[in-house]
Amino acid sequence: MGKPQSGLFVKLPLIEFCVVTVLLTMAGRFECNMYAPTKSRSRLREAISKTYTPLSGCRTNPETEVLVTTGANEGMLRVLMAFLNPGDELHAPLELVAPCRKYLDDYHMAEGVIQCVPLRPPAKADIAICSSTEWTINFVEVEQSITSRTKMIVTRHNPTGKVFSHEELRHISDICVRHNLLVLRDEVFQEWDFAYTIPEGGYFVLVNLAKVQVPREYRLPPYICERRRDILLAWFFIMELGVAAILASEFYSLEHACLGEKYLRLAVCQGDDILDLAKARLCGNDAAWMYRLVVGVDARQASIACF
């Protein structure tokens, strides 16, 4: 523990610390050698209640309204199993379904039905750099898609990193009030105990590749050439440039996947040396590389994981 790991989403070193000393200290404490309450220790629940009561504006009962889980997956599953009956609808107006595909199993275990209304890119997205704030959602479309079986709305969004405005959140809350819907908020980074500066950039970019064409002579495998355009581009990038990207269409339901076909997501949470290498590969100024590309010679072995 405490050592840098390769192949991770964020390739940054962890803080060195002495695990053995901590474990030995805990092992000698009586209260650490028994089963904890299933909903967590009362001191922790009381501390959570004390923290969230002023944030939410209402008293949070630590005995009946606070539950500590071992991670977001378990927490999501418990909420869904508690409130959804088979056939009830989990409404994802922000096209949540794919940003956290690991949660799909939770939805299926609860036998819920997922309804999606997509976040749509601005009209100028093919020709100009856009802010995530310019991606919009049609709230009329959201309301029209709600049925008598809709129980819950999930409020978050990937892959643009869009932060919804106060007015947009008010639209969502008004819809929830009118239809008596629960709101599931998966916002693990909502509160930080640090002074915070709102950034104008992030650790990833969503790149529009509408003008990028894979050469006709390029030999794509049969199981790739008939698939969506972003899959072709991602294959091309990783096999020829050695730079890996995430498919934007994977953040949409199958019905709306076409909205993401022009985009690939590239993360920049890597060291400068890796980013410089990725930049050099993406420039594509190597004439020898271009020759290999056209004639379809075997791909390069190395790759940069820029997930």
CB 118 within 8 A of CB 95: yes
Average pLDDT over residues 71-99: 76
Average pLDDT over residues 282-286: 61
Q: Which CATH architecture has domain 205-283?
A: Alpha-Beta Complex (3.90)
Contacts of 5 (CB under 8 A, 6+ apart): 11, 14
Is 300 a residue whose pLDDT tops 70? Answer: no
Decide if 225 contacts 214 (C-beta within 8 A).
no
- Cα 284-287-293 angle, rounded to 5 deg: 70
CATH (residue range 69-184): 3.40.640.10
Residue with tokens 């985009």: 263
Better-predicted residue by pLDDT, 96 or 50: 50
For the segment 119-160, what is each residue's pLDDT rounded down to a tens digit? 888 888 777 777 777 888 888 888 888 999 999 888 766 555
Domain residue ranges in the chain? 31-68, 69-184, 205-283
Output the pLDDT for position 201. Answer: 52
Predicted pLDDT of residue 203: 59
69-184 and 205-283: same fold? no
The pLDDT of residue 55: 81
Q: What is the pLDDT of residue 98?
A: 40
Q: Which of residues 284 and 164 earns the better pLDDT score?
A: 164
**Taking the model in full, what pTM does it have?**
0.61
Average pLDDT of span 204-227: 77
pLDDT at 230: 85
Tens of pLDDT, residue by residue over 220-265, are 888 887 788 888 888 888 887 888 888 888 777 777 888 888 888 8
The residue count of the chain comes to 307
Rounded CA-CA distance 118/95 in Å is: 5
